[in-house]
Structure 1
Amino acid sequence: MEANSVDTIEEFISEDIMSVNHSRTIQRISVHFEQYDEVYDTFPELELKLNGKPVKPDVAVFHNLPEDWDSDIIFLTEPPIIAVEVLSPKQGMKEITDKMNTIYFPSGVQSVWIVMPLVQTILIRTPDGKQRTFTEGIIEDPVTHIQIPFKQIFRHIRR
């Protein structure tokens, strides 16, 4: 009898819980980043290997990468400019800040967005320790100057 095998790329304990609001937030942020597609590529849930460690930000933003449809990359090793982490329902803030301080910033990520759907807040941090918190207005990334109206991420649609 032949045993079935499963290839595991990466195991997630709390990150693998994808709620409706978590997914909705990733989609809305990605859609708004697309308006900058002449300069930046936006990749949701892209597998990265930064400083030899596997990581998968909810959204990663890069300067436009060359397109090659004849080959593909499973683990991109180039750090994104922006890594967006959306807090999932079972995920703690410490998990994200540890990832930011031990993987993202040391590998060259220039801006990390920590998005907290439950409290409708976006915190942007840079490696120099600066941070901005957004609960309204225009979210502006300090590195790329990408702008997103806050109300477009956390809008309430009445039916």
Structure 2
Amino acid sequence: METVIEQLTDFDDEKMSSYNHSELQSHLAFLLKLSYRTQYSILTELDFDFASGKTRPDLAILPKRKADWLADEIVVQDIPLTTIEILSPEQSLNSLTDRIYKKHFPAGVKSVWLVVPTVQTVSILLPDRRQVNFAEGVVADPVTGIQLKLSEIFEG
């Protein structure tokens, strides 16, 4: 049986954070909770153990689920509908998209938001390799129906 420490070291491919990354992650979580908390569970930095591999997306959007404060989960088996990945300064775009296509989509994740802070864009990736890119206007997820103004996501 793996210990919690051994389980957590399996997430080695995860990136380091930064101020802007953390600010953006917190801001996205706030905006999503503000508008969609009754429909979805919006979770940050949660460890998932998919059949395709272990991963820790910046945010995960799951069907609404009630927290059980007496029984916690260190590594979650549920599959999110959508994950959100924010490119960090020390992370390559290739390594991030590789993780998305090798771990998230094979597990059953339906859409992944790829957020690139330096150019203030969001791309929604889909399992069939289609993507929808947003450099202005409203970011609209075709899977969840979630919509956020890009200007609000990157509000300073």
TM-score (norm 2): 0.90
Structure 1 residues 99 and 14, CA, compared in 2 at 3 Å: closer, same or farther? closer
Aligned residues: 150
Aligned CA distance change for structure 1 residues 62 and 14 (closer, same or farther; 3 Å)? closer
Residue segments in structure 2 that go unaligned for 5+ positions in a row: none
SS at 1:73 equivalent: coil
Distance 1:45 1:88, change over 3 A: same
1:28 aligns with 2:27: yes
- Secondary structure of the residue that 2:75 maps to in structure 1? coil
Cα offset, 1:12, TM superposition: 3.2
- The 1:13–1:56 alpha-carbon spacing in structure 2 relative to 1, beyond 3 Å, is closer
Deviation at 1:18, TM superposition (A): 1.3
Runs of 4+ in 1 over 3 A off after TM superposition: 11-14
Distance in 2, matches of 1:93 and 1:60, equals 19
How far, CA to CA, are the matches of 1:68 and 1:146 in structure 2? Answer: 26
What CA deviation, in whole Å up to 9, does each residue of 1:7-47 have, x standing for no partner? 351253660x2111101111111111112111100001001
Letter in 1 for 2:19: V
Give the corresponding residue for 2:152: 152
Q: Which residue of 2 aligns with 1:116?
A: 116
User: Residue 19 of structure 1 corresponds to which residue in structure 2?
Assistant: 18
Higher helix proportion, which one?
2
Contact 1:14 1:90 in 2 (8 A): no
Deviations 1:46-101 (A, max 9, x none): 01111162100000000012321110111111110111000000000111111111
| Structure 1 residue ranges without an equivalent (≥5) | 1-5
Distance of 2:30 and 2:76 partners within structure 1: 22
Could you say which structure has the larger radius of gyration? Answer: 1
Counterpart residue number, 2:131: 131
What is the TM-score with the length of structure 1 in the denominator? Answer: 0.88
Deviation at 1:153, TM superposition (A): 1.3
- Percent identity, aligned pairs only, is 34
2:5 is the counterpart of 1:7: yes
Change (3 A) 1:52 1:103: closer
- Tell me the equivalent position of 1:3: none
What whole-Å deviation, never above 9, does each CA across 1:88-145 have from its counterpart, x for those lacking one? 0000011111111111000000000110001111110111222111111111111011
Aligned residue identity for 2:86: V
